[in-house]
Amino acid sequence: MIISYHGHSVVKIKTNTHTILIDPFINGNGQTDLDAEEVTADAILLTHGHNDHVGDTVEIAKKCDALVIAPFELAEYIETQGVKVHAMGLGGARDFEFGRVKFTHAFHSSSYTTEGGQSIYTGMPAGVLFTAEGKTIYHAGDTALFGDMKLIGDRNNIDVAFLPIGDNFTMGPEDAAYATELIKPKVVVPIHYDTFPPIKQDPHYFKELVTTAEVQILHAGDCVQLPRD
């Protein structure tokens, strides 16, 4: 398995047989190395409906005939755009041919703003647990710190966690470091920072705060160094 980071909250997972994208915000993302016209995927996982997470989902899914997996209301909206979807609810899990997907709680807002300025409610936001080839990846989306992260850590053997550190809209470095203690991943990667002025952060400060996991600070296009079993 190859897991790579592509700026903001964009994560790509390549298994032996499939490519999975999480929150593919590419156009308008000054931090990414990806080209929306060239990127391919078999499946797209969405944590919530904000434009900087839905991003180029519809265009990529149409081009690649990719399946979009998202929280129920967001999946319903994406389906109206002519894309095949699979809707899920928080706490629900499902085995797909490319791996197992489970949506967890996340605490923040979730809506999509159309080009015409209309705000569409896209249901409850989520984190994503993705398991394939013996590895479990946790993508926390835009969440605030919450106590039930301990349950996520206690009930899952998480190899890599992607946690927001940007503050203002999400956890900041201090809360994300505490979240790392609760989740207990082997590796943690800071995301959702520096893309816009309100979320400017120093990831090395976050690294200094974390004592319970290996922190890997990645630039766009870098791959996670997976922990050895």
Domain chopping of the chain, boundaries: 2-215
Cα separation, 41 vs 186, in Å, equals 26
Give the model's pLDDT for residue 90: 97
Task: Identify whether the C-beta of residue 164 lies closer than 8 Å to the C-beta of residue 177.
Answer: no
Mean pLDDT, 10 residues at a time, the chain of 229 residues: 98 98 97 96 98 96 97 97 97 97 96 90 96 97 98 98 98 98 98 97 98 97 89
Give the model's pLDDT for residue 227: 79
Give the model's pLDDT for residue 229: 66
Q: Strand locations in 72-207, DSSP E?
A: 85-88, 93-96, 99-105, 111-113, 119-121, 126-132, 135-139, 160-164, 187-191
Say whether domain 2-215 belongs to CATH 2.40.70.10: no
Give the model's pLDDT for residue 114: 87
Taking the model in full, what pTM does it have?
A: 0.97
Can you name the residues that pair with 196 across neighbouring β-strands? Answer: none
Half-sphere exposure for 225 (CA within 13 Å, toward CB): 6
